[in-house]
Every structure is written in C-alpha cells, then in structure tokens.
Amino acid sequence: MLKGPLVLASLGLGLNLFLGGIPGMVAVSSAAYALLPNTAPPQSQTLDEVDSGPDRSLYTALARLIGAESEALQVAGAGLQQPPPVDLAPRADAAGAHVVAAAAAYIRAAQAVFSH
C-alpha cells in the first residue's frame, strides 16, 4: 500500500476538520483582528454575532464560552497598558460576568447532552 496518498488524505481530513470546526472559526475571526486591529471588531464580538441564535446546543455554548474568554483576555491585555484605562474595573467586572454566564450555559448544555 502506498503511504503517500494515505498521508495526503489524512492531512486533508485534518485540515477539513480544523476549518469546519470551532478552532477554525476562532482562527478566522482573530485573523481579521490581527491584520486590521483598528477597523476589525474584537473577536468576542464576532463570536457573539456568529452564535446569536436561540440554539442551546453544546457547540453554541462552547462558542459563547470562547468569546467570553476572549473578551476577558482583551481586558487583561488592556490592564497591562501604562497608564491603565480609567474604565478597566467596570470592563473587568463585565467580562468576568460574561465568563461566568457562558461557563454556566456550557455546563447546562453539556448536562443536557449527557442526561439523554
């Protein structure tokens, strides 16, 4: 059996899974922000717009959790600036609340999947 076609097929399958899944969506949304940081929306806003539907699936909950964590990382990055922004504390509180809400929604979605 030839190993070349098998290796190429495996690489193609891995690339297809990456581009069609959550990691691909996160990579694409962060690529726009990395290329055009002044004009592109933040990654957390992009993820919120992608999954803004009423769907309560595990994938939607995971996308919301990734978006909330991305927002928290952006606030943490703003906290490293000198001088720190004056609105850092309210932004950090809001980002923390988003992470807690997204984590709770993800846990509820996972429990709903595994309870069936």
- The per-residue pLDDT for range 61-110, each reduced to its tens digit, is 888 888 888 888 888 888 888 898 899 999 999 999 999 998 898 888 88
pLDDT of residue 93: 93
Residues 66 and 2: their CA atoms lie apart, in Å, by 40
95: tokens are: 């980002």
Residue type, 13: L
- Residue 56 pLDDT > 90, yes or no? no
